[in-house]
């Protein structure tokens, strides 16, 4: 199954983003705009990056009462976005409201349910009162998202094989927590894998930010990961 790269464009300013986007135009398809860029520049920046020819994954990780999330999806629907995140831990009713709003406003938009953040390990789950392993919690939330109408999930690459055994084959599995070494490097990511390992496990997409953005030559780092995925 092919696996594509999504660049997490987590930089403070559009000026910092501009050369990276310019150099990767035509080579990279997917750009993820998250809380950092969206809170700074809003919907107009989404339109601008889409206008450069990139497919946009808008990562706002919505999590609120069902009505509020549904209305937010309705407001976002007209934007030129192809993926949008919400937290599955918001529950089945919240996801159904989001799904109904998405179908009404942007039928081609893929809603992605975030399961357990890749920065969370068993101790982190325990801290918030969840006494099962990350894999068990991901499996539970993945199933809930699927029965609530979602066709895509965000999880760690460590859980992909498990989800592939239990969920419909068409489920899109998007995996951040990618570190070229395959090892947690002391930053906030805890459940990690390398790009090639994540692709071989069955990820539909990998999401990579800092390993590209902090490289001396970000465009070259992105190209190297694309080549690694092609060879996986
Ligand atoms: O929804 C996401 O994209 C996401 C979910 C998750 O569990 N973990 C996670 O890291 N992400 C996002 O993926 C990106 C990972 O960035 P790096 O750790 O710099 O590669 C960030 O933009 C995170 O917001």
Is residue 59 annotated as a catalytic residue, yes or no?
A: yes
Which tens digit of pLDDT belongs to each residue from 73-111?
Answer: 999 999 999 999 999 999 999 999 999 999 999 999 999
Does residue 55 have a pLDDT over 90?
Answer: yes
Is 67 annotated to bind ligand? yes
Give this complex's ipTM: 0.99
Considering the domain delimited by 4-230, tell me its CATH architecture.
Alpha-Beta Barrel (3.20)
Q: Which of 5, 6, 7, 8 should be mutated for ligand 1, with most atoms under 8 A from CB?
A: 8
Phi, psi angle pair for 208, to nearest 5°: -130, 130
pLDDT tier at 32 (50, 70, 90 boundaries)? very high
Which residue, among 50, 94, 57, 51, has the nearest Cα to 72 in the 3D structure? 94
* Per-residue DSSP letter, 3: -
Chain mean pLDDT for the chain: 97
Which residue, among 80, 84, 81, 40, has the nearest Cα to 62 in the 3D structure? 84
Domain locations along the chain: 4-230
Does residue 186 have a pLDDT over 90?
Answer: no
Is residue 188 annotated as a catalytic residue, yes or no?
A: no
Q: Rounded to two decimals, what is the model's pTM?
A: 0.98
* Per-residue DSSP letter, 167: S
Ligand 1 atom having least distance to the Cα of 187: 18
Q: Ligand 1 center to residue 177 CA distance, Å?
A: 7
pLDDT tier at 43 (50, 70, 90 boundaries)? very high
Q: Which of 207, 208, 212, 213 should be mutated for ligand 1, with most atoms under 8 A from CB?
A: 207
Does residue 13 have a pLDDT over 90?
Answer: yes
Q: Of residues 4, 55, 64, 121, which has the active-site annotation?
A: 64
Does residue 182 have a pLDDT over 90?
Answer: no
28, two tokens: 């990279």
pLDDT tier at 155 (50, 70, 90 boundaries)? very high
Ligand 1 atom 7, closest CA: 117
């Amino acid at each position: 199954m092919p696996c594509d790269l999504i660049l997490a464009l987590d930089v403070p300013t559009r000026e910092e983003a501009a050369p990276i986007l310019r150099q990767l135009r035509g080579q990279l398809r997917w750009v993820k705009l998250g809380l950092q860029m969206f809170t700074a520049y809003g919907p107009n920046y989404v339109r601008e990056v889409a206008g450069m020819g990139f497919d946009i994954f808008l990562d706002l990780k919505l999590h609120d009462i069902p009505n509020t999330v549904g209305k937010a999806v309705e407001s976002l629907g007209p934007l030129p976005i192809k993926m949008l995140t919400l937290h599955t831990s918001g529950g089945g009713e919240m996801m159904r409201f989001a799904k109904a709003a998405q179908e009404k406003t942007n039928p081609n938009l893929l809603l992605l349910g975030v399961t357990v953040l890749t920065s969370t390990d068993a101790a982190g789950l325990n801290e918030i009162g969840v006494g099962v392993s990350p894999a068990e919690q991901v499996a539970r939330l993945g199933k809930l998202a699927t029965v609530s109408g979602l066709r895509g999930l965000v999880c760690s690459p460590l859980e992909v094989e498990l989800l592939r055994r239990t969920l419909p084959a068409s489920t899109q599995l998007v995996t951040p927590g990618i570190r070229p070494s395959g090892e947690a490097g002391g930053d906030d990511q805890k459940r990690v894998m390398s790009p090639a390992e994540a692709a071989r496990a069955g990820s539909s997409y990998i999401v990579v930010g800092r390993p590209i953005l902090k490289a001396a030559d970000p465009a070259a780092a992105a190209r190297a990961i694309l080549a690694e995925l092609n060879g996986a």
